[in-house]
Structure 1
Amino acid sequence: MLDPVRLRVLVAVAARGSVTAAARELHYSQPSVSHHLARLEAETGAKLVQRVGRGIRLTEAGRLLAERAAEILGRMESAAAELTAHVGLRAGRVRLAAFPSALGTFVPAAAVRLADDHPGLDLRLAEAEPPEALRMLRAGDVDVAVIFRYEETGPEDDGIRLTHLFDDPTCLVTPVGIGGADDADHADDAGSVGAHAASRWIAGCDRCRSHLLDLCSRAGFEPRVSFTTDDYVAVQAMVAAGLGVAVLPTLALSAHRSPGIRAVELPGSVRRVFAATYGEPPDPPATAALLTALTRGEPRGGHAETLFAAIRPRDQTFSP
């Protein structure tokens, strides 16, 4: 049986005239396009392309198959559109990957909204930090990836489309007693990264660690990272135990608040939270419905501010 993915590659090469242009249109690498063509030739037993100078051109067999493939793919897309219109999102599946503190805060509210609007739609959830979530998205393992980016985070791959959800401020997290009410001599320490140049630091995932290094660099020092974990519960427990200080986003503090820590919002330090999709618009109806649920900030039982009010601690001490 002919693989529709490889047929789509052949149609793109025929339409664009080169492997490079086809790869750009499909958001594939050039080696990936060449691999699909080679596999298609092996499956059909026919020579479909031939090299001409530094480029390629379709053989007669290649042109014939490309014409038929365009018809086949068009019929498949029409059938999918007709089926979607018939089902009307009363059934089907949509898959979401999100980082842990998103799953612990606003994603469940979005899942409730989606279920209210489309009771027959099956939502599958997976936990993944942004790089893994984006890999799953590109591989087709999920339909939407909820990710975060800092100012210094590098650009995402071509083909990734980002829908901004909200900005998530970050906080300096220290043990109670450092800059707290019981330590007035060091009250300024709680809100200053630079005041902890000599402290041990607890770092998080790769993107969070990069942000920590950037914050400390701007404060004029390189942090002494003693522990690394992307478990925000463990980070707070270590801080409370006096093993170091950390920078955490407010979503993490909203999802879990350990006793014995003090959290102070850092001015100008935010991570931006996005819903990522892959490929050219329009999105499939189920994906579009999930994006609507994520961006419509009115959880059942209260307005959006109800959900996010707890996500902005400015100067809070969490103690027994």
Structure 2
Amino acid sequence: MDSDGLRAFAVFARHLNLTAAAAELHIAQPSLHAKIRKLGRTLGVELYEREGRGLRLTPAGLNLARFAAENTRRMNDFVAEQQGRPTSVTIAAGQGAFRWVIGPGLRRIVGSHRALQVRTQNREGSLRDVRSGRADVGVFAGDPPPGGFAWSEIARYPQVLLVPAGHRLAGRKRVAMSDLTAQPLVLPPAERPHRRRLDRALLDAGVDVTVAAEVDGWDLMTHFVALGLGAAVVNGCVLPPEGVAAVPVRDLPQVPYWAAWRPERDDLSADIVEHLVTG
């Protein structure tokens, strides 16, 4: 397998579209198709198949895509080292994790002379990027990663209630979910894991939910709290803006954050994860 063919397949696996991949590679589509066909013949397997009107990778194609992405990354790092340029690392995480959890860690990584690349993904997308080789490390909250990943807990935060500073609950040391009875709430969309956990906790506490707003992202949630639309339950890493108080919720569990990587990348990831661990 030649490196040029592997690089071409890595691009194709990212797009799953011959036209888009050929455009990125600046080659003709028939030339790309020939490279992929040659790889398949060399390995004696089918690398992709049609799915409706699109394409999908076969299990062999998924394995080759991971290998091709890793091979391309290592080749680029080798060339960078020889030329005295920073080697690269790619981290996949959600907007909240980038904004509130691993920002200082990213600064330390850049300070260690790494060329940092980021991919904004939810939990499933982060794990998919790590599994495919598109990212070196994925960061997300909630349950630990499934089997097949190496992982480390990098942070843990209580859940807090954000309310305007003059709110009746603002001066409390702690609140309970039952205190939210008749309280308008600013909530994430219904399909979000955080929303599903809140809905269960509110139901267990016998609280009828009064939805003031459904918004995606902690920044907008805190903004609406500051405007007086309602209260919001967020992870304690979120710093409340001026005029907003954060009160710990005593009957909600702390939320862990995990860094996950492929075990074969321990050589790289251990160093990166050390930078991401919060103090």
| TM-score (norm: length of structure 2) | 0.63
Deviation of 1:47 (Å): 7.0
Distance in 1 (CA, whole Å) between partners of 2:209 and 2:183 is 8
Higher Rg of the two aligned structures: 1
1:94 aligns with 2:86: no
Distance in 2 (CA, whole Å) between partners of 1:48 and 1:97 is 30
1:179 aligns with 2:168: yes
Answer yes or no: is the 8 Å Cα contact 1:114–1:289 preserved in 2.
no
Q: Gaps spanning 5+ residues in structure 1: where? A: 6-38, 50-72, 182-186, 298-303, 305-320
Q: List per-residue Cα deviations over 1:28-84 (Å, max 9, x = no partner).
A: xxxxxxxxxxx98994299779xxxxxxxxxxxxxxxxxxxxxxx9xx8xx97xx59
Counterpart residue type for residue 273 of structure 1: Y
1:212 aligns with 2:212: no
Structure 1 261/123 Cα, relative in aligned 2: closer, same or farther at 3 Å? same
Counterpart residue type for residue 231 of structure 1: G
1:254-269 equivalent positions in 2, closer than 5 A: 257-267=240-250, 268-269=252-253
1:59-208 equivalent positions in 2, closer than 5 A: 91-117=86-112, 119=113, 121-149=114-142, 153=143, 156-179=145-168, 191-204=175-188, 206-208=192-194
Counterpart residue type for residue 244 of structure 1: G
Distance in 1 (CA, whole Å) between partners of 2:205 and 2:228 is 22
Distance in 2 (CA, whole Å) between partners of 1:93 and 1:47 is 33
Deviation of 1:276 (Å): 1.3
Distance in 2 (CA, whole Å) between partners of 1:245 and 1:48 is 56
Q: Following superposition, which runs of at least 4 residues in structure 1 exceed 4 angstroms of deviation?
A: 1-5, 39-42, 45-49, 187-190
Paired positions, count: 222
| TM-score (norm: length of structure 1) | 0.56
Answer yes or no: is the 8 Å Cα contact 2:145–2:151 preserved in 1.
no
**1:292 counterpart residue number:** 274
Structure 1 272/106 Cα, relative in aligned 2: closer, same or farther at 3 Å? closer
Deviation of 1:244 (Å): 2.1
1:236-275 equivalent positions in 2, closer than 5 A: 236-253=222-239, 257-267=240-250, 268-275=252-259
The worse-fitting range, judged by mean Cα deviation, of 129-138 and 163-172 is: 129-138
Percentage of matched positions with identical amino acids: 21
Q: Gaps spanning 5+ residues in structure 2: where? A: 8-35, 47-67
Deviation of 1:249 (Å): 1.0
1:276 maps to which of 242, 260, 274: 260
Answer yes or no: is the 8 Å Cα contact 1:176–1:260 preserved in 2.
yes
Structure 1 175/189 Cα, relative in aligned 2: closer, same or farther at 3 Å? farther
Answer yes or no: is the 8 Å Cα contact 1:190–1:262 preserved in 2.
no
Distance in 2 (CA, whole Å) between partners of 1:127 and 1:46 is 33
Counterpart residue type for residue 258 of structure 1: P
Structure 1 290/47 Cα, relative in aligned 2: closer, same or farther at 3 Å? closer
Answer yes or no: is the 8 Å Cα contact 1:178–1:189 preserved in 2.
no
Corresponding residue SS for 1:283:
helix
Deviation of 1:210 (Å): 1.9
1:221 aligns with 2:207: yes
Counterpart residue type for residue 246 of structure 1: A
Structure 1 105/178 Cα, relative in aligned 2: closer, same or farther at 3 Å? closer
Deviation of 1:122 (Å): 0.7
Distance in 2 (CA, whole Å) between partners of 1:288 and 1:171 is 31
Answer yes or no: is the 8 Å Cα contact 1:213–1:222 preserved in 2.
no
**1:68 counterpart residue number:** none
Corresponding residue SS for 2:206:
coil
Answer yes or no: is the 8 Å Cα contact 2:140–2:258 preserved in 1.
yes
